[in-house]
Amino acid sequence: MKKEYLLIGIATVLLFILIVKNFYAYNRYLVEEQQKEFLRLAKVVTYGLEERLDGEKDGLDQFFNPYLLAKETAAMAGEEKLQELGHWMSQYLDMAPDRRHQILLADRAGKIIKDVRAEGEDSFWTEETYPNSNELGDKTVLGKAFLIGTHEYTIPIIKPLTGEPEYYLILLMDMDEIRGYLNKVVEDEKENGYVALKNQEGYILSHKNPEQVGLHMVRDRKEKYPDLDLTYLDRLEAMQLSGKEDTYVYDSYWFGEKEIKRGKKVATFTPLYLDHEFWVVTINLDYQTYMVPLQQFMYKGIGLSACVLLLFGGLLFRLNRAGEEHKKMVRENHYLHELNEAMSELGREREQRMHARKLSQIGTMTGKIAHDFRNFLMPVLGHAEFLLLDERLPDKAKRDVEKIMEYAEKASQLTDQIAKLSRHEKAAAEYEYFDIIKELPAWLEAVAMILPKQIQFEMNILLDQAWVYGNQTQLQEVLWNLCSNGRDAMKETGGTLLVAVDRVERGAVPENVGVSRYDGSFLRILVADTGCGMDTSILEHLFDSFYTTKPAGEGSGLGLSISYDIVCQHGGDIKVETEVGAGSRFTVYLPCRGQKPKAEQNGTTRSIMLLSDRKKLDEVKYFKKFGYESKVVNVTREGVKELEAHGGEYKYIFLESGYCDIEDNEFFMYVCRNHPGIHIFIITDVVTRQIMELKERGIIAGYLKKPFSSTDVEALTNQFP
């Protein structure tokens, strides 16, 4: 018990340390965010100041419009024209006498031609403040601000007037409106806070305290306060006059009218680039006013956390005392849980029996369904053939009837596949070589017809031909099932259904795809949708029979299961990639050839009998009596190597059923795809259902039942000379 209390105490202390550490980190984060907010405020102030200055320039340009001015003074010259310009200058000055001191007319050399001032104003202009002639262009510019008194600046705006001789208007703006705008930014804040404006030389243009205007931010203060430590101003000056925006926290002084107070400040500053210089907009705020409340919040949080931990420790103590009673309750609950599991297991077994009966009923129904479908298709095919015999039938109608017959025959093949589910009827699909690229457009046309308007259908076939050994109807069913699933996934939201076809070599097939190990090239069919996607719980049962996530009556749960079996029977595989909310991608891999294989023509009648026991040489001699060259090799390894090296020399292959797995038809499919001119025969004691299905599907040519005679061999091979 003491050990448990010790562990609880250690855990509590560690948790408290972690909480304190997180509080400090959060406090740093809040301080950084507050500084960023100050910097954003400085940017807003800078932007507003720039808009005001640009507005004054635009106002001067609009009032002294060159086209309007030229029109008004077109008939004037000399002194009369200057008098008219003076009248315009007076009007412009009278429009805003509170912020416009003086407006002058000068030539390029700076000589004053006309001087108009506001009432009661002195002339503040000197030729020293006039820009160099190479700085004067054809645009209205802001000149450098200059002192017009002990603590007051003015801003010159210089506008060129086109014509001969070339004149320039010089408007002197008052800084009072700008100072009022800057001071308004912090007028609602605490007492200690202001916005200052400095030029690129470090002189203060605007300040909350008018006595600071005109002073240098470093030199004048060091001269005025020699006893104070003002070394921080050197770093602040370097940062602000670098032309970059930043935030700086430093120990400084508040220079009031009556007393000087030491305090910590937060300075945020941004540059304002003008035509001939740049200014620095600085917001200085009291660190205590804005940052200390954050620290107080942190300390209160730490104290509150300590109280919570103490309460938590007491709660753990109480919980530990109640532990024994809890264990007793757990044992009782465990007994009840086992009892409930037993009841649930009985229920699951009952459901499984009901499901087995349902499968049995489905198996019985499929036979009747196949029978009825055949009865329905018979009159369709019969009437279609009868119509084709009518020579009066138009060509377009004949093509339509031929289309009816084509799909009716495919429906007949599909009925044969449905019959496989019956317990009373077994059917085998016939395999043949066909160009799947030639068939795909018709298959995809049927798919496009079932798609609603909100689903966009795209297909990308990158091959001219691809020869596949298999059953057309089955492979069309696979493509139909995959496209139908994509359609259902996008039924509500809409989206895009993509079917892309290309060919890859064996080495490019992913390792987790279970395709035939004997083939070189594979057809890759991608069916992708942008629907709802699937989670891992659905993927685990995706290819299980009768598994479906659709509502009752909308899905049988057989489509993907049948499709997977069909692809595997063709020596291929299906790979699924999906993401919830992003859609699914089904990739089908099928062995294929770039061209239709030609039957190997060779004069020899050499046969290959594949036996796993090389000691039975009597079997080889026995076949030689029939007039055939024979060789004994291993089916899955040496047989493939021998065919790759000398496939054109062989005409027949005999396999003894006791030495190969008849149900694993991978070797048979390899021979059919790559050596269609070779005929396969199986030597067997008993003709099984699997052997009959292989023969019906055209995978093997026939079989020999032991014992057999030379006449039997000769009769069998004569069917395939």
Tens-place pLDDT, residues 222-236:
888 888 878 888 888
**Average pLDDT estimate for 433-456:** 87
98/210 same-domain check: no
- The single residue listed with the structure tokens 């509502």 is 551
The answer to whether residue 580 is domain-embedded is yes
Query: Any idea what DSSP says for residue 121?
Result: P
Q: Are 165 and 107 in contact (CB under 8 A)?
A: yes
| Of 189 and 410, the one with more pLDDT | 410
Can you give the residue range of the structural domain that contains 198? 178-290
| Of 357 and 580, the one with more pLDDT | 580
pLDDT computed for residue 603 by the predictor: 41
Q: Are 105 and 83 in contact (CB under 8 A)?
A: no
Residue whose C-alpha is closest to residue 668's, from 514, 474, 518: 518
Furthest-apart CA atoms within the chain: distance in Å: 138
Pull the structure tokens for residue 619: 């079997």
Q: Give the integer Cα–Cα distance in Å for 489 and 478.
A: 17
- Count Cβ atoms below 10 Å from residue 28 Cβ, excluding itself: 12
160/210 same-domain check: no
The answer to whether residue 141 is domain-embedded is yes
CATH code (residue 223): 3.30.450.20
135/222 same-domain check: no
DSSP 420-486: TTSSS-------EEEEHHHHHHHHHHHHHHT--TTEEEEEEE--S--EEEE-HHHHHHHHHHHHHHH
Least confident of 71-75, 248-252, 292-296: 292-296
**Average pLDDT estimate for 107-133:** 70
| Of 214 and 427, the one with more pLDDT | 214
pLDDT computed for residue 587 by the predictor: 93
Q: Which of 428-437, 451-460, 635-644 has the highest mean pLDDT?
A: 451-460
166/196 same-domain check: no
Pull the structure tokens for residue 474: 């089955």
**Average pLDDT estimate for 194-200:** 88
Q: Are 285 and 192 in contact (CB under 8 A)?
A: yes
Tens-place pLDDT, residues 680-709:
888 776 777 777 777 777 788 887 776 555
Last residue of a domain, one of 123, 151, 174: 174
Query: Any idea what DSSP says for residue 593?
Result: B
Last residue of a domain, one of 260, 290, 320: 290
pLDDT exceeds cutoff 80 at 327: no
Residue 286 bridge partners (DSSP)? 265
Residue whose C-alpha is closest to residue 438's, from 481, 487, 486, 476: 476
- Count Cβ atoms below 10 Å from residue 383 Cβ, excluding itself: 13
Q: Are 501 and 560 in contact (CB under 8 A)?
A: no
The answer to whether residue 313 is domain-embedded is no
pLDDT exceeds cutoff 60 at 553: no
490/435 same-domain check: yes
The answer to whether residue 19 is domain-embedded is no
434/422 same-domain check: no
Tens-place pLDDT, residues 510-540:
877 776 665 678 899 999 998 888 888 788 7
Q: What's at 179, amino acid-wise?
A: R
CATH code (residue 536): 3.30.565.10
The answer to whether residue 48 is domain-embedded is no
Q: How many domains does the chain have?
A: 5
The answer to whether residue 456 is domain-embedded is yes
Q: Give the integer Cα–Cα distance in Å for 665 and 110.
A: 103
Tens-place pLDDT, residues 583-598:
899 999 988 887 776 6
Q: What's at 85, amino acid-wise?
A: L
Q: Give the integer Cα–Cα distance in Å for 541 and 551.
A: 17
Pull the structure tokens for residue 100: 């416009």
Tens-place pLDDT, residues 612-671:
444 454 455 556 655 666 666 665 667 777 777 777 777 777 777 665 555 556 777 777
